Amino acid sequence: MKSILKVKGLHVEIPLAAGPLNAVRDVGFEMKRGETVALVGESGCGKSLTALSLMDLLPRSAKRRAEVLLFNEQDLLKTSEREMADIRGNQMAMVFQEPMTSLNPCYTIGDQLEEAFMQHRKASRSETRKRAVQFLDRVGITAATSRLRQYPHQLSGGLRQRVMIAMALMCGPSLMIADEPTTALDVTIQAQILSLLASLQKEFEMGLILITHDLGIVARMADRVIVMYCGQVVETGSAVDLFENPLHPYTRGLLDCIPVLGKTKPGEHLGSIPGLVPTPIGELVGCSFYNRCSSSRPECAVELIEVKEISPGRSYRCLLSPDVCFRERGGEATR
């Protein structure tokens, strides 16, 4: 499978009154076609901004720079706005978190489904309409033809999110980015939307970047996982590897927070990570997780910590060696 995305050294900086906010720091990863990559982290860790910087949809004040930013072998750092607009919605599509506000209330569903396809493919209205009906069907919306004439406020949240997904698929992109697509929906609808995404991805052989803070979703959907903390990538690997053998103390901490059916005894304390996420404003020194890490050493506070790759696709950003991590984890598991 060929690589569709290669990112290295991605930085996003947002100027604030108190200083420049380094929202995304030295983020790098690769992705192959047909893969589902989960981008995990808590609110404010920079995962949404990373996705937006791929599409070049950052807010006007934000500044993006990267060493490498290749999409399907095309250098995104050198594309003009016009060329970028041709890529967006066409080869690279995004589904956002809030289905309630992501559709224009003044136009019908049909209009909004059709406009991108008609522009990118220069197709006729009837062709596009047929395709729109097909896709609405495919995302599980009944009575697709009459739905086309409806307005967004006439649909429920779950239906609107399906429409957003259909809209993202219309031009057959090779990469879909879904930013917390189910967070704003009912739990019962969440499962439906997720399995829809999974089957669509297989059918259309798309790369899927799934941004989420929910490890349950990661376990269900992801082939590979990228863990972000405070703007940096702290660990990457296959989902299996990550869950069985987390290398970074933050990942460990996240996994410890999850109650496991069968393992966690009733009345037992759930893990939690003490402390608060620091604000990445101004000059930054040392490890971001330092103030909350139980395995920290003095060196962690001052050294520049690079990403260590222990095998292709498996890397982490920590001074501790892999066996130390294993020992630390083993030590805590026998609490």
Partner 1 sequence: MVAYFLRRWLLSLLVAITVSFISFMLLRLSGDPAKALAGESASAADIEFVRVKYGLDRPILIQYLDWAGRAMRGDLGESQFFKQRVTDILGNRLGVTMTLGGCALIFAVWVGIPLGILASLRPNTWVDRFALTLSVLGQAIPTFWFGLVMIIFFGVMLRWLPISGSDTWRHYIMPTIALGYYATPAFMRLTRTGMLEVLASDYIRTARAKGLRAGKIIFKHGLRNAIIPVVSLAAVQFGFMLGGSVVIESVFALHGIGFLAWESIARWDLPVVQAVVLLLSLIYVLLTFAADMLNAFLDPRIRVK
Partner 2 sequence: MNPQGMVTGALGAGQGVVFPTPGQMMRRRAYRHYGFIFGGVILVLILAMALLAPWIAPHDPYYQDLERRLMPPIWQSNSTWNHPLGTDNLGRDYLSRLIYGARISLLIGLSAMFLSGLFGSSLGLIAGYFGGRIDMMVTFLITVRLALPVILVALAVVALIGSSLKVVILVLGLLIWERFAVVMRSSTQQLRSMDYVSAAKATGCSTPRILLAEILPNLMNNLIVVATLEMARAVLLEAALSFLGMGVQPPLPSWGLMVSEGKEFMFFNPYLITIPGIAIFLLVLSVNLLGDGIRDITAPESST
Binding site for partner 1 (CB under 8 A): 55, 57, 81, 84-90, 93-94, 96, 98, 101-107, 115-116, 119-120, 151, 153, 164, 167
Specify the residue, 62 or 281, whose C-beta has the smaller distance to partner 2: 281
Q: Does 250 bind partner 2 (CB under 8 A)?
A: no
Residue 282 contacts partner 2 per CB under 8 A:
yes
Residue 66 pairs in a beta bridge with none
CA distance 76 to 68: 9
Cβ at position 101, least distance to partner 1 in Å: 4
Among residues 283, 311, 323, 330, which is the contact residue for partner 2, using CB under 8 A? Answer: 283
184 binds, among partner 1, partner 2, none (CB under 5 to 8 A by kind): none
59 binds partner 2, rule: CB under 8 A: no
- Sheet arrangement for strand 232-238: 92-95, 175-179, 207-212, 36-40, 224-229, 232-238, 314-316, 308-311
Contact string (CB under 8 A) for partner 2, positions 17-46, x = contact:
xxx---------------------------
- Separation CA 148–CA 303 (nearest Å): 57
* C-alpha count within 13 angstroms, C-beta hemisphere, residue 231: 20
Nearer to partner 1, 88 or 129 (CB): 88
Alpha-carbon torsion 72, 77, 83, 85, what sign? Answer: positive
The helix-helix angle for 109-121 and 157-169 (nearest 10°) equals 10
Alpha helices, DSSP H only, in the chain? Answer: 47-55, 81-87, 109-121, 125-138, 144-147, 157-169, 187-204, 215-221, 239-244, 249-257, 322-333
Residue with Cβ nearer partner 1 (157 or 271): 157
- Given the complex with partner 1, which of 115 and 328 has the nearer CB atom? 115
Residue 27, token pair as written in the block:
């983020």
Figure out which of the listed residues 71, 135, 229, 289 binds partner 2, where binding follows CB under 8 A. 289
CA distance 279 to 231: 10
301 binding partner 2? (CB under 8 A): yes
* Binding-site member from 27, 233, 300, 318 for partner 2 (CB under 8 A): 300
CB of 274 to partner 1, least distance (A): 35
Which CB sits closer to partner 2, 230 or 233?
230
List residues binding partner 2 (CB under 8 A): 17-19, 230, 278-291, 296, 298, 300-302
